Amino acid sequence: MAQQNDQFKKVIAHCKEYGFVFQSSEIYDGLSAAYDYGPYGVELKNNIKQYWWKSMVQMHENIVGIDAAIFMHPKTWKASGHVDAFNDPLIDNKDSKKRYRADQLIEGYVEKLEAKIKKEVTKAKKRFGDSFDEEKYMLESPRVLKYKEQIEDIMARFTKAMGDGDMAELKAIIVDLDIADPDTGSRNWTDVRQFNLMFSTQLGNIAGEEGKLYLRPETAQGIFVNFLNVQKSTRQKIPFGIAQIGKAFRNEIVARQFIFRMREFEQMEMQFFVRPGEEMKWYKYWKEARLKWHKALGTPEEKLRFHDHDNLAHYANAAVDIEFEFPFGFKELEGIHSRTDFDLSSHQELSGKKLQYFDAELNKNYVPYVVETSIGCDRMFLAVLSNALQEETVPDAKGKESTRTVLKLHPAIAPVKCAVLPLLKNKEELTTKARAVFDTLKYSFNCQYDEKDAIGRRYRRQDAIGTPYCVTIDFDTLEDDTVTIRERDSLKQIRVPVSEVEAIVREGVDMKSLF
Ligand code: ATP
């Protein structure tokens, strides 16, 4: 755990030092759960978005994109269920004045029991050595069985209470389990109550409730209300999808894990409209397709897993998360939800406008069912960065061992694709040639020209921001028009004619390799 926290601290410090992510309004001591993306951060985030957009929209003939407004008619959120049901159970500690999510306190308690089981297994493994049979031990060890039974009891009570919206029962669980404020140890709790996560604001020209607007808590509704506009204007036939990337806002009760949980964040969502009854087929399809998308970036298989929802949202008949092993444990990165016809039917009912599709093959009208894939862009950024940030021992220029910090990002999403470096800063013939090389490459890729400091330090700087290629211009370049290309991961250096650099970099960073 301590090691995990160390890695998380390193990720946060790296983000700040190298211009990936800054705390919002830092000079005023920051605004909690709001972050700004710096010069390399914005490039990386844009590349992640481009990878998603290409694979979801441009690579599918039957998926199209939109960019809907953040503000929507307030009835949207009534129909979607967000006004009545987009709540988290809130509990305050009367002594520390800190606020918590009651569900997270209970889940935290269960996680501790799970950790105890793991510890028992590790101890037993040591004790029994090669003859250890983990499966048998899990079925027979009295301690493990006791913990498992406790977990099952708690989860049964908890799932029911969440399903029933029974706040008194959630409080009772916290009291029965003797759960204390994680920061202060106090058990002096208020009752649990529902807290709506939507931010509201006011239209300028209408006073009171009538003019109340919400900042969208998900991008999906902009897609649903445009369903017929898009279908008719693009003449799509079911099954087809509508995708969107955009900001969403949630007044999270607890938001403490850097860009994992923010109050303003960005989502990449796709709603896939299908025939009623065919939703489970497409749910399976998108589960696999989305996992493949993550793996293509080089994310190790053991850091990704599916987690089926115990508590289904008000709109879903099946839901699964793709979880990633962040430095603070496995957490949701993306959700895949079978949303039934809940949203379109509710909008149809409240607006009084038909939101139906005429299926010529079946010769009938129906409200389509929907399978959604929804991923947080910021969470994806954090996943990618925490997986890529590594420290390695490598030989330095003189062959001695030294440590380097390197971001092993997939080249296709690296913020800078290629750095152009004159060997020496004060030799005009080198800098002039290097500038000329830079000028030919800048049209094709995000490149960087850097002449400050010794060449070894410049390589290290590029490693730290994940640049896959460094092109060095030296005195031989002036003689034979060749340069050295250094590859970030293998550290291999090859000598090539200047005229070949663009093709080599292009091949290495092409997004095609991801599909
Ligand atoms: P969580 O359980 O972590 O609160 P959720 O189940 O409410 O997430 P969804 O409503 O399914 O999340 O949203 C889809 C995706 O949007 C999530 O998988 C996540 O990547 C992202 N997301 C949701 N809330 C936040 C947030 N506060 N900050 C950053 N990303 C978020």
Cα(476) to centroid of ligand 1, in Å?
A: 54
Cβ 264 under 6 angstroms from ligand 1: no
Cβ 252 under 6 angstroms from ligand 1: yes
- The arithmetic mean of pLDDT across residues 138-159, rounded, is 94
Cβ 332 under 6 angstroms from ligand 1: yes
pLDDT of residue 4: 62
Ligand 1 atom 22 nearest Cα: 376
Question: What confidence category does residue 131 fall into, taking pLDDT thresholds of 50, 70 and 90?
Answer: confident
* 22 pLDDT higher than 90: yes
276 vs 206: which has the higher pLDDT: 276
Probe target for ligand 1 pocket from 304, 374, 381, with the most ligand atoms within 8 Å of CB: 374
Question: What confidence category does residue 397 fall into, taking pLDDT thresholds of 50, 70 and 90?
Answer: low
Cβ 245 under 6 angstroms from ligand 1: no
pLDDT of residue 2: 56
What type of residue sits at position 324? F
315 vs 464: which has the higher pLDDT: 464
Phi/psi class of residue 102: alpha, beta or left (left: φ > 0; alpha: ψ in -120 to 50)?
Answer: alpha
* 10 pLDDT higher than 70: yes
Residues in the chain: 515
* 399 pLDDT higher than 90: no
pLDDT of residue 214: 96
- The arithmetic mean of pLDDT across residues 362-384, rounded, is 97
Cβ 250 under 6 angstroms from ligand 1: yes
Question: What confidence category does residue 208 fall into, taking pLDDT thresholds of 50, 70 and 90?
Answer: confident
Instruction: Tell me the helix, strand and coil percentages in the chain, rounded to 5.
Output: 45, 25, 30
Cα(261) to centroid of ligand 1, in Å?
A: 7
Q: Per-residue pLDDT tens for 222-281?
A: 999 999 999 999 999 999 999 999 999 999 998 889 999 999 999 999 999 999 999 999
- Give the Cα separation of 389 and 44 in Å (integer): 14
Question: What confidence category does residue 3 fall into, taking pLDDT thresholds of 50, 70 and 90?
Answer: low
Cβ 502 under 6 angstroms from ligand 1: no
DSSP string over 231-262: HHHHT--SSEEEEEEEEEE---S---SGGGS-
Q: Per-residue pLDDT tens for 466-475?
A: 999 999 999 9
CB 194 within 8 A of CB 90: yes
Cα(323) to centroid of ligand 1, in Å?
A: 11
Question: What confidence category does residue 64 fall into, taking pLDDT thresholds of 50, 70 and 90?
Answer: very high
pLDDT of residue 400: 83
Cα(376) to centroid of ligand 1, in Å?
A: 6
Phi/psi class of residue 352: alpha, beta or left (left: φ > 0; alpha: ψ in -120 to 50)?
Answer: left
Cβ 378 under 6 angstroms from ligand 1: yes
pLDDT of residue 312: 77
Ligand 1 atom 16 nearest Cα: 376
* 1 pLDDT higher than 60: no
CB 341 within 8 A of CB 367: yes
Question: Which residue intervals of 129-226 are DSSP H helices?
Answer: 134-140, 142-164, 167-176, 220-225
How far apart, in Å, are the Cα atoms of 41 and each of 19, 134, 264, 346, 388? 7, 43, 16, 39, 14
Average pLDDT, the chain: 94
Q: Per-residue pLDDT tens for 306-363?
A: 999 877 777 788 999 999 999 999 999 999 999 999 999 999 999 999 999 999 999 9
pLDDT of residue 85: 87
Ligand 1 atom 9 nearest Cα: 335
pLDDT of residue 266: 98
**Sequence-ordered list of residues with C-beta below 8 angstroms from that of 5, at least 6 positions apart, any chain:** 327, 328
Q: Per-residue pLDDT tens for 446-463?
A: 999 999 999 999 999 999
User: What are the E-state strand segments in 327-477?
Assistant: 329-340, 357-359, 364-366, 369-376, 389-395, 401-407, 418-422, 447-449, 469-473
- The arithmetic mean of pLDDT across residues 12-34, rounded, is 96
pLDDT of residue 483: 97
Ligand 1 atom 12 nearest Cα: 335
pLDDT of residue 341: 96
CB 468 within 8 A of CB 419: no
Question: What confidence category does residue 168 fall into, taking pLDDT thresholds of 50, 70 and 90?
Answer: very high
- The arithmetic mean of pLDDT across residues 414-431, rounded, is 95
